[in-house]
Structure 1
Amino acid sequence: MMTKTERIAPAGILGFPVAPFDRHDNLDVKALEKNIQFLIDEGLTSIFIGCGSGEFHALAPFEYQTMVETALAVSKGKVPVYTGVGGSITNALQLAQLSEKLGADGYLILPPYLIEPEQEGLYDYLSTIISSTELNAIVYKRDNCVLTLNTLQRLVEYNQLAGLKDGLGNMDLNIELTQTIGERLRWLNGMPMAEVTMPAYVNLGFTAYSSAISNYIPHISAMFYEALLNQNKALLNDLYRDVILPINRIRKQRKGYAVSLIKAGMEIVGLPVGTKVRPPLIPVEKEHYKELELILKTAFEKYPKQKPKRMEEAIHESN
């Protein structure tokens, strides 16, 4: 595990566990443990707990703390653990400080709720959170948190800032940021179904991405990323045609499927997290569930699971 003084955010495929709920709508800690252990066993480079796929918006404070404690207990220092922090500035600061107290490696700063701020307001919001602890901080650029080059240049003066995750998809802006800031930050692709866009991102210096499908078919994520780094175009085309694009088409059918489709996929492959999501998210409809079943059947038949390889190894081999 990286020490906090290295200030390097994780590379490779990042693990974002879900928040499993039982039939009484209580957090299912045992299911969460299995989710996290599965991601670690499958070679993902880090755990990001209590973020978007973990239904950050819907968690009670005690549930959030339980999820962080669970991630740290299961990981046992094998991989870095990052938390999601956000909401009001007071809430974000409390979560950042709690993350530090519990022993997390860093946190992902989620976009501020509702407000569409000016750049100076964003700078104040982010710099206050970043400087509040000694943990590594990653800024999530999307929605209400779109940074200009000038704002990011001011933020990188804080040693704690270790990375920027992009969920906006503005490639003009991405080029300006990456080519100006360079290796001072680690660049993370946080677009929905990031495998779809990763070929465009990797050439800009993005060496990490969050993969929704890694929660249920991490061997496909690993196979895809290794093929991308090694420029295996034939395999990439096959994976896009048979697995990635079909799943992405389902994901785009309904708002909120970015989370609920993950749980559906996990249930299909036998991971006991259930399919319950909290409002305003909706569960996957039966028709789409059946379509996902067929895609996953193809995925396991045509692309059998192999021994997982740490993403750092794949990146090293491609260089």
Structure 2
Amino acid sequence: MKRNAPTGILGFPVTPFDSQGNIDELALSQNIQYLLDSGLEAIFVACGAGEFHSLENREYESIIEVATATVKGKVPVYTGVGGNLSDAIYKAKISEKHGVDGYLIMPAYLINGEQEGIYQYVHSIATSTNLNAIVYQRDNVVMTLDTIERLVEIPQIVGFKDGHGSMEHIIEFTQSIGNKIGWLNGMPMAEVTMPAYIPLGFDSYSSAISNYIPHISRKFYDALLEGDQTTVNEIYQDVILPINRIRRQGKGYAISLIKAGMEIVGLPINSKNVRPPVTPVKHEHYEQLEEILKKALIKYPSNLTKSL
């Protein structure tokens, strides 16, 4: 087991559902293959974008089976684990059973625990298997430096994903811990904040738009690394900021807007098929996204885009 977190642009596939609400395994495989063909460096299934909150155990396992069969070891495969502790450990063991590379430890359900409780929660999950584990800081799981320093001593913990966004704390964490673990940007629409994270040692991010315009996310990231500010600014204005403005218009759009974008570019998914409490994108927002993508794909064409 290589003890390192994936770097680069990380793919977080959604979970496609059919009209009866069941997982569409063929569509899932096709969408994962699209991410592989686009050159993404890792695949994270059954996480937040994959509607982790709504999956029962058999569905969760079937998603892992589809992912590992599709990826075939080309890139690392990670899963999402979390919720109540016993269920998180169960899912961790299912992940290990199917030979994935690791898992992202999602926040515990609802509870705002003390730092010792957060440590014990993450420690229990991370040490339940030999897989790599990435800690996810967001919502009700916000850590202190002392907690993170204790966690990085656990061999299985290879990465820290930040979805909280406190630059003061992140600077303290990265300066104190350095390269003992990998640093992942997990902020909403991570392209928006990635310029601020790169100088702090973050060398990967989870990209929502990579589900439907991965070549633009790649062009943006390459421009960032190369110091090409002109291209960065153009993609900000043409694509990233306009989509982010739509994303902020609806709760649950972190999921349903991805499905809408995928449907617009011709990928095999019905954007209306989401599970409550997530709701589909409103018609006017769908049309706004469609117009943004039409213009973007004229200016930034892709050989993989199937329609529009």
Q: Do the aligned residues in 2 keep the contact of 1:88 with 1:112 (CA within 8 Å)? A: yes
Alignment counterpart, residue 293 of structure 1, candidates 280, 290, 295:
290
SS of the aligned residue for 1:151 comes to: helix
Q: 1:266 aligns with which of 258, 262, 265?
A: 262
User: Displacement, 1:185?
Assistant: 0.7
SS at match of 1:203: helix
> Which amino acid in the other structure matches residue 302 of structure 2?
K
Match of residue 193, structure 2, among 194, 197, 221: 197
* CA displacement, residues 31-50 of structure 1 (integer Å, 9 cap, x when unaligned): 00011000011000000010
Output the CA distance in 2 between the equivalents of 1:207 and 1:109.
19
Tell me, yes or no, if structure 1 residue 185 matches structure 2 residue 176.
no
Name the SS for the 2:161 alignment partner: strand
Distance 1:269 1:160 in 2: 38
**Residue 206 of structure 1: SS of its match in structure 2?**
coil
Q: TM-score w.r.t. structure 2 length?
A: 0.97
Structure 2 residue aligned with 1:125, among 106, 121, 124? Answer: 121
| Equivalenced residues, count | 303
Alignment counterpart, residue 61 of structure 1, candidates 54, 57, 61: 57
- Aligned AA for 2:245? R
Aligned counterpart, 2:24 = 28
* Counterpart residue identity of residue 106, structure 2: L
Q: Tell me by how many angstroms 1:133 deviates.
A: 0.7
- Cα shift at 1:144: 1.4
> 1:278: which partner in 2?
275
**Which residues of structure 2 form unaligned runs of 5+?**
none
Match of 2:147 in 1: 151
1:305, CA displacement in angstroms? 2.3
Letter in 1 for 2:239: V
In the alignment, structure 1 residue 102 sits paired with structure 2 residue 81: no
1:49 correspondence with 2:35: no
Identity %: 62
Supply the distance in 1 between the matched residues of 2:239 and 2:140 (Cα, whole angstroms): 32
Residue 225 (structure 2) pairs with residue 229 (structure 1): yes
**Cα-to-partner distance string for 1:76-133 (whole Å, 9 max, x where unaligned):** 0000000000011100100011101110100000000010000000011001111111
- Any idea what SS the aligned residue of 2:200 has? coil
| TM-score, L = length of structure 1 | 0.94
- For the 8 Å contact 1:84–1:110, the answer to whether it is kept is yes
**Cα root mean square deviation, aligned:** 0.8
2:292 is aligned with what amino acid? I
Deviation at 1:19, TM superposition (A): 0.5
Match of 2:111, SS state, is coil
Q: Which amino acid aligns with 1:303?
A: Y
Q: Report if the CA contact (8 A) 1:83-1:107 is conserved.
A: yes
Runs of 4+ displaced beyond 3 Å? none
What is the deviation of 1:306?
A: 6.6
Distance 1:45 1:214 in 2: 11
Q: Do the aligned residues in 2 keep the contact of 1:219 with 1:306 (CA within 8 Å)? A: no
Decide whether the 8 Å contact of 1:86 with 1:110 is kept in 2.
Answer: yes
Q: Partner of 1:239 in structure 2?
A: 235
Determine the C-alpha separation between the residues in 1 that align with 2:303 and 2:201. 27
Matched residues in 2 for 1:28 and 1:96: separation?
23
What is the distance in 2 between the residues matched to 1:216 and 1:170? 29
Q: Distance in 1 between matches of 2:94 and 2:33?
A: 23
Q: Residue type of the partner of 2:41?
A: T
Output one character per residue of 1:126-176: Cα deviation in whole Å (capped at 9) or x when no partner: 011111111000000011111110001111111110000000001111000
Q: Give 1:302's aligned residue.
A: 299
Q: Distance in 2 between matches of 1:203 and 1:118?
A: 30
Could you tell me which amino acid in structure 2 is paired with residue 302 of structure 1?
K
Give structure 1 stretches of 5+ with no counterpart. 308-319
- Contact 1:93–1:132 at 8 Å: present in 2 too? yes
Partner residue of 1:37?
Answer: 33
